[in-house]
Amino acid sequence: MLQLHSLLAKVGPKDRKLGVKARLSGALNITINLIKKNLQNVKLLLPCLQVLRVYSANMVNAISLGKSGAIEIMFKILAPYSKKNTSLLKVAVDALAALLKSKTNARRAVEAGYVPTLLALYMDWHRNDTWHRHTAIRKGLLGCLRNITNTKVGRKAFTEADGMRILYNSSSECLTVRTLDPLVNTSSLIMRKCFPKNRLPLPTIKSAFHYQLAHALASGPVAQLYSQPPGEQQHTVKSVPTGRTNAQLCIEPLKKVDDVVDDSDDNEDTEADTENDTENEEDEKDPRSLNDDIEKDINKLHPQKSPSRPFEELRVYERFFVELSEDFQGYNFDRSTTSSSSSARTPRTVIVPTAQALSPNHVTTQSSPVLCAPPKGQDPQSLLSAAPALQLDTLRFSKERNKKEEAEQELSHVLECVSLKTEESLNIDKQKGSPISTQRLTQSPLLLEGIAIRCLAGGGGGSDCGSEAAEDEGAVLEVPDTAQLLPLHDLDLYVDMVKGTHSVPQYTEVAYPDYFGHVAPTFREPLLERVYGVQRSKIFQDIERLIHPNDILDKIVYDLDITSCPVIESDGESLKFNSQFESGNLRKAIQVRKYEYDLVLNSDINSNHHHQWFYFEVSGMRVGATYRFNIINCEKSNSQFNYGMQVLMYSVQEAISGRPRWVRTGTDICYYKNHFARSSIATGGQKGKSYYTMTFSSSFSHKDDVCYFAYHYPYTYSSLKMHLSKLEAMRTPEIYMRQDVLCETLGGNSCALLTITAMPESNSVDHVCQFRNRPLIFLSARVHPGETNASWVMKGTLEFLMSTSPLAASLREAYIFKIVPMLNPDGVVNGNHRCSLSGEDLNRQWQNPNAELHPTIYHTKSLLQYLTHTQRAPLVFCDYHGHSRKKNVFMYGCSLKETVWQSNISAASSDLHEDLGYRALPKILSQIAPAFSMASCSFVVERSKESTARVVVWREIGVQRSYTMESTVCGCDQGKYKGFQIGTRELEEMGAQFCVALLRLKRMTGLHNHQHLLDLESDLIGTQPKAVSSCPTTYVMDEDEPSFLEAIDYSAESNDEDGEADNEAGAGGREIPETPDLRPERLSDSGSGHDAWKCGPVASQ
């Protein structure tokens, strides 16, 4: 028998079926009995245990062996620290760990009271194995604990046996020895798993703000929120005490409460479910889910231009295209006298149509003298017919200015009040000669009546202040002359714009960064290198809260749920937080340690999730101290914060010292799953999900400073209005620019539509015809409010289009640009990340937008439908977005062929005819724009994206070049900016490069010879634009990041070594989330790519 077992021990590991064979032949019990009888016979025991270890790897065997008493036997063999028989112990502990993978066995072990035994054994080896010669046995013991704690009873027993403290203390002692990392990591895994799940410290996960929709939704998540009983509505919920008592209520109330922790995993099925959850849920479904998502319905892939709306209905949109029927007869084209920019306003009054000027007959009378051949196929009637009632006013920012006088009177009144109140502090400030009073800084942020406060901060007394203000408000506060650095910025204009901006919380404050503006720093900001062990140390600090609860302050310092007083008065021991300003998004701040704060972000309005964007203010900081901030309710399973991205910080003291700018900041940054449970209501029914923590540390260099932190460079709706107003002032007589109000949003904000092109050379028939026949380019941005980078790219595009460069002039002569620069003003204003006020993602509404609920989408789509009807569908449609999980800038387009090929549907692809034109623009961009990466582009149509702008404009409007352009929030891993985080300069440059690319596209399409164009494009595709993307077909993103080998997994429910290894690799080395085909971002507006073929030389396929 001994020899037989020795032989089996050698053969066993090589035969995968050995375990099954042994069971079938009844050999399991022979081995068990042999072990039982020879517990003292080490020589015999060793091969038997080796064989048992092999047997136990099979789950059915493990259960069978467990019934035969194998676990009890193992505990007889296991022993306290000893230098003897260590190899035997190693095999025994491994066999036990294998047996305990079976939950039945795990429960058996718990019932037998072995959890304290295992902990005691582990501690004994930990204490005595001082030279770390037997870490394998120690790791084996932890492996047993890890498997036992996969069961709920196991976790309970572990906690009751003080396992948290034991593993925490032992791990802390191991931290300094690098070779003990596996022990620390496994301990950390167990502790995270057993860490009691908590609710978020909120009365409800529904947004702190509520917007009452006039039209209730019939179905969908928002309707669900609405259909909850009134008792669950916002304000009443606030009085419900927090705590986990809700979980103990009976089932019925559970369904109603929106944020209950689903921690009842008593029944086997639920438990199995939750335990199979891996950290990165998207990974799990890959790559299958991606293939599943590819559109396979060939009918849906064929553009369906057949318009479903009668033209009569669309005719009202004619008023947004007056340029298409303008005859310019009343214009003075003598540029010799009007070409200076000072006269830029002269043509404006002529060009810009107003409600008064646009009588219903306007179009007809104006266009009749010029008998212009309509563009091919265009219905001449559409040009000549009268526009129906033109009631929409055009967006005229001058109106705002007209109100200014009134506002100033109001302000001077406020000024008096404020001045009186703070006279004393003013005098102090005057003595100090400080350009900005500390009083004011602690009173931050700037109120809407900011001019007044700004004025008093200048150090003058009441009257003094008043006179100065009257002379020159800008000179009072010594802010940098941003006007020189920022031609589109104007402090007073900004405040004016804010006054016309409508927010649900009715903000009256202005954040300093938006007021002062942002001047991109001249230096580049490299991606942050990750410090080894940062995640582990952060997690240990979290666990420490449980071990030493008395060290935790748990002091609420900011709370939006206390509507009367969200900013809690500081006693000087805490930071002061605020985010009650446009685009602000902080719901709660809790001081947990002297220099550490837990932060909770607000959900999108009328929603109970979408937390990612943040923008808040802190003051009352101590210079030199390092503060740790934890945003504890992040949702995505991974983040660029794990791959070099830093948060953005703006210091007011820096700004008034001449450096008004957002800078990348923060150390010890990491993103990991935490112990706050997510309600299944907010996860679409998935149970057992947790939130994620984004943690960063920062210190402050100025006393009495006010600083702001943001997810990305903020860009408010008021900023857009200010920029548009300034852009309008940049117009020269050569530029045709018009601003219309496309519609009003639910929140009462105007959605702007811009028209930019060149004025015709003259009002001759030829010139006017050339003008009218220019192809259209349709651009939009910021449908997702959290994607502020899209606005910076759009700003670059707009500035380029309005610039005086010859390229810009050629571009304007080549095209008519129709631009909706902000598709979701309400979301932006209210600090949403993803949705509009209806609580819906507007970029999922394009198939069937509702005029009441999704006005901006409804009317934008109508504009495009109008254009299709009049045979003027745009040459290019592009919607600007930001991408939170990939680097670089890239595009998603739509290709019938590429989708068919990828989906393997049985259509004879040789029958499919498709122009390759859709590839030209991204290809040009990859050649000229350093941040752009062709390798990240994809042209596959996904089913989950069928209601996005890109897909609908392609399919229904028939625009072949219909794109989503995604810009990273993080940085680049190729090209000139490789290794650097992206800044506004690079984003704006991208917007300008997009314009240049359109000019190149024009030169190609202008050739008319279609075959020639194709040749050109395939030439283009064949060229090697940038060295980095030289081999796109084999592009993998494995070089994307410096790897870090810490498991991101917080729940650690993976049951075996392999799973764990996968997790580690996924989190670190291979950077799964970066790899498009492994990680479809389901929430993203556009799908992920398919590396294998997406950038291959298509012509050859």
673 makes contact with Zn ion (CB under 5 A): no
Phi, psi of 166 (to 5 degrees): -65, -50
Residues in the chain: 1101
Residue nearest to Zn ion (CB): 881
Q: How far is the CB of 783 from Zn ion (least distance, A)?
A: 7
Query: Using CA atoms, how far apart are residues 1091 and 945, in angstroms rounded to an integer?
Result: 19
**DSSP 8-state code for residue 938:** B
Binding span for Zn ion by CB under 5 A among 467-475, 586-594, 719-727, 776-784:
776-784
* Residue 609 three-state SS: coil
Query: Using CA atoms, how far apart are residues 444 and 706, in angstroms rounded to an integer?
Result: 7
Nearer to Zn ion, 265 or 1081 (CB): 1081
Q: How far is the CB of 882 from Zn ion (least distance, A)?
A: 6
Binding span for Zn ion by CB under 5 A among 71-79, 355-363, 525-533, 778-786:
778-786
1085 makes contact with Zn ion (CB under 5 A): yes
784 makes contact with Zn ion (CB under 5 A): yes
Binding span for Zn ion by CB under 5 A among 314-322, 385-393, 551-559, 777-785:
777-785
Query: Using CA atoms, how far apart are residues 45 and 40, in angstroms rounded to an integer?
Result: 8
Q: How far is the CB of 1078 from Zn ion (least distance, A)?
A: 20
Q: How far is the CB of 467 from Zn ion (least distance, A)?
A: 49
CB 689 within 8 A of CB 558: no
Nearer to Zn ion, 102 or 884 (CB): 884
**DSSP 8-state code for residue 973:** S
Nearer to Zn ion, 728 or 1085 (CB): 1085
Binding span for Zn ion by CB under 5 A among 22-30, 147-155, 879-887, 1011-1019:
879-887
Nearer to Zn ion, 733 or 1087 (CB): 1087
Non-local CB neighbours of 206 within 8 Å, separated by 6+ positions: 225, 234, 237, 258, 603, 607, 608
Could you tell me how many helices (H) and strands (E) the chain has, helices first?
Answer: 49, 20
Q: How far is the CB of 844 from Zn ion (least distance, A)?
A: 11
| 163-174 vs 534-547: helix crossing angle, rounded to 10 | 140
Give the binding-site size for Zn ion (rule: CB under 5 A).
Answer: 4
Nearer to Zn ion, 881 or 923 (CB): 881
- Alpha-carbon dihedral 258, 263, 269, 273, rounded to 10 degrees: 80
Q: How far is the CB of 928 from Zn ion (least distance, A)?
A: 24
Nearer to Zn ion, 75 or 994 (CB): 994
Q: How far is the CB of 300 from Zn ion (least distance, A)?
A: 22
326 makes contact with Zn ion (CB under 5 A): no
Q: How far is the CB of 963 from Zn ion (least distance, A)?
A: 13
- CA end-to-end span of the chain, whole Å? 64
Residue 455's alpha-carbon distances to 403, 448, 467, 719, in angstroms, are: 20, 13, 10, 22
Query: Using CA atoms, how far apart are residues 635 and 613, in angstroms rounded to an integer?
Result: 11
Pick the binder of Zn ion from 108, 881, 923, 955 (CB under 5 A): 881
Nearer to Zn ion, 101 or 881 (CB): 881
Binding span for Zn ion by CB under 5 A among 572-580, 742-750, 781-789, 810-818:
781-789
**DSSP 8-state code for residue 446:** E
Binding span for Zn ion by CB under 5 A among 131-139, 336-344, 773-781, 787-795:
787-795
Q: Is 527 exposed, middle or buried (0-12, 13-18, 19+ CB in 10 A)?
A: buried
Nearer to Zn ion, 780 or 1005 (CB): 780
Nearer to Zn ion, 787 or 799 (CB): 787
Closest Cα partner for 492 from 458, 467, 468, 517? 517
Considering only residues 285 through 314, tell me which ones interact with Zn ion, judged by CB under 5 A: none
Nearer to Zn ion, 663 or 794 (CB): 794
731 makes contact with Zn ion (CB under 5 A): no
Q: How far is the CB of 747 from Zn ion (least distance, A)?
A: 20
Query: Using CA atoms, how far apart are residues 628 and 597, in angstroms rounded to an integer?
Result: 6
- Maximum C-alpha span of the chain: 112
Report the catalytic residues.
Answer: 966
Query: Using CA atoms, how far apart are residues 671 and 676, in angstroms rounded to an integer?
Result: 14
- The type of residue at 928 is I
Q: DSSP string covering 17-59, please?
A: THHHHHHHTT-HHHHHHHHHHTTT-HHHHHHHHHHHHHHHTSH
Query: Using CA atoms, how far apart are residues 998 and 995, in angstroms rounded to an integer?
Result: 5
Phi, psi of 741 (to 5 degrees): -95, 115
* Residue 598 three-state SS: strand
- CA angle 325/330/331 to nearest 5° reads 95
Structure tokens at 331: 């214009």
Q: How far is the CB of 585 from Zn ion (least distance, A)?
A: 17
* Residue 597 three-state SS: strand
Q: Can you give the binding site for Zn ion, defined by CB under 5 A?
A: 784, 787, 881, 1085
